[in-house]
Chains A and B, each alone.
Chain A
Amino acid sequence: MGFLTEGFFSAIYLIFNLDYMVLSTAYTTIQVGFISTICASLIGLPIGFSLATFSFRGKKILVLLIQTLLGLPTVVIGLIVYGFLSKKGPLGFMDLLFTPSAIVIGLVILATPIVIVFSYTTIKTVDSRVRETAFSLGASELKAAWTVICEIRYEILAVILAAFSRVSSEIGIALMLGGNIKGFTRTLTTAIALESTKGEFAFGIALSIILLFIILIANLMSFVFRKL
């Protein structure tokens, strides 16, 4: 129990003293987490919606493919993207490796299947009358789609939050594509890994608490949105 309580008090101390390193890792976590969640949602929601609403050839295969992608371990995603972004790879000229942008790319690949599958199942359970009612009142395809999303907006928000929580607690991709560079690509998770190699378990716990706190705030924000 020793380093757990030590970690807890460390966390409070670090936050109140606005420790620069801690703030910078927290900022990086929020930055890459937020951007990749938004991108994954912008890509994944329309796909999930289309899968749930329209029927087309090869749909079942596509669903199977996406559900398989869900099970991809993050180190595999990290390895594949590294292969692309490395100077040896086809996108090496873009100089993206070991930057926050590289982490975002990996995290978007991780999060998009999550958004697709969860939004697909959410939309499938929507009352089929919504779309029909929208059409009966003269709505266009786009407006009808928007109406469906609006009707389940809190469920969709839950999907987006699930994606955010997933990417914020991710470590394999952040390490491999970001390089854990101090003050630049060091996220809370990669910092925790580093501190544990140094034997600094209490500090690791402190950082973990801060990470949990961030995810908690994100979930609390959904309550705020409900009230608006």
Chain B
Amino acid sequence: MQAVILFLVLIFFPISGVEAKRLKFATTTSIANSGILSPLLSAYKKKQEITVHAIITGTGKALELGKHGDVDLVLTHAPKLEHLFIKNKYGIDKKEIMFNYFLVAGPPSKKPLLKSEKVVDILKQIAKKKYSWISRGDNSGTHVKEIELWKNAKLNPLGKWYLSSGLGMGRSLIIAEEKNAFILSDRGTYLSFLHRNKINLRIVFGRKDKNLLNVYSVIQVNPIKHKNILYNEARKFSDFLLSNTAQCIIKKFKIKKVPLFYPVSLCTNNQSQGK
């Protein structure tokens, strides 16, 4: 009998407690899956007492949550959608916090493509030879970038070789692996999957081409549109992401000694940190 009461207390107690104040931000699965959030949130916890909750969804949904005022900030990497978001006054104070480059990955077994300085040349070769290609097909930042690249190459990719997965980055990489196809991927997800032996795809084009620039920004939800937005707390957090501490964390974040992201500002190492 006592065991039953103990069980009930354990179950009901936490849920009945009044919710403490917390900062909610929405971000995408690719950012979360890269693993960069963990060290950033831990470092923030050392400075502030407020609980920070990260809600991980797709880009579109993250911005919708911001639009509805269900989160206090958004952390995304979709410049066109972010621009609209701010234009419609759903968000304010956009701050770019880090960036990297998209890359084109492909099967190790395929005949090597002619190397090139330009990514559009790679795409032209793939289209001409009708090598399998996996597209995200879901209006994510990656997908929007991919469409832009095909446009720049003056190509309209159609045909059995061009497959639209409609799935997230990770799953799409696995499909590319299974189908020996080429794919445009963000660096973080690609390296993370490669490092964990989920894929054997190799980088076909990995240069710092400005056409492949992938910028990550944090935008605060407009407090005028919604009551109860923790504007000040959100401000503190976004300032933190631009602080030296956070930028150094971003710079030092590596998978197998390969950095995933580049910070937007220099990391000055005048802190007495052990690592």
Contacts and interface: CB of A to CB of B under 8 A. Distances in A.
- Sorting the interface of chain B by its residue count into under 10, 10 to 19, 20 to 34 or 35 or more gives 20 to 34
B55 A179 contact: yes
A150 interface: no
Contacts of A99: 19
Interface stretch (B7-15, B124-132, B209-217, B261-269): B7-15
Given A35-B12, A197-B171, A87 B226 contact: yes
B11 A35 contact: yes
Given A98-B53, A180-B56, A200-B196, 16 more contacts: A34-B11, A86-B68, A87-B70, A92-B69, A93-B228, A179-B24, A179-B55, A197-B33, A197-B170, A198-B33, A198-B193, A199-B171, A199-B173, A199-B193, A199-B198, A199-B199
29 contacts: A31-B15, A34-B11, A35-B15, A86-B68, A86-B69, A87-B226, A88-B68, A88-B70, A95-B19, A97-B70, A98-B55, A98-B70, A104-B15, A179-B55, A179-B56, A179-B57, A180-B56, A181-B53, A181-B54, A182-B54, A196-B171, A197-B29, A197-B33, A197-B171, A198-B33, A198-B193, A199-B170, A199-B171, A199-B174
Given A88-B69, A199-B170, A199-B198, A31 B55 contact: no
Contacts of A100: 14-15
A34 B54 CA distance: 25
Interface string A182-203: 1010000000001011111000
Contact of A198 (B11, B12, B192, B228): B192
B56 A194 contact: yes
A199 B177 CA distance: 12
A97 B95 CA distance: 26
B113 to A, nearest CB: 25
Contacts of A182: 54
A169 interface: no
B137 interface: no
B139 to A, nearest CB: 17
Contacts of B228: 87, 93, 95
A191 to B, nearest CB: 11
A101 interface: yes
B79 interface: no
Dominant secondary structure of chain A at its interface with chain B: loop
A51 interface: no
A173 interface: no
Contacts of B171: 196-197, 199
A102 B14 CA distance: 14
A215 to B, nearest CB: 16
Interface string B183-195: 0000000001100
Interface of A: 30-31, 34-35, 86-88, 92-93, 95, 97-101, 104, 179-182, 184, 194, 196-200
Nearest to A183: B53
Contacts of B166: none
B60 interface: no
Most buried by A among B12, B56, B57: B56
B259 interface: no
A87 B68 contact: yes
Nearest to B221: A87
A199 B171 CA distance: 7
B47 to A, nearest CB: 19
Interface string B42-62: 000000000001111100000
Contacts of A199: 170-171, 173-174, 193, 196, 198-199
Most buried by A among B24, B54, B55, B173: B55
A101 B15 contact: yes
B55 A180 contact: yes
Contacts of B12: 35
A34 B243 CA distance: 43
Closest 8 CB pairs of A and B: A87-B69, A179-B55, A199-B198, A88-B68, A181-B53, A197-B170, A86-B68, A197-B168
A16 B55 CA distance: 29
B172 to A, nearest CB: 10
Nearest to A93: B228
Interface in B143-186: 168, 170-171, 173-174
A184 B54 CA distance: 10
Nearest to B226: A87
Nearest to B174: A199
A87 B64 CA distance: 12
Most buried by B among A34, A86, A87: A87
B20 to A, nearest CB: 11
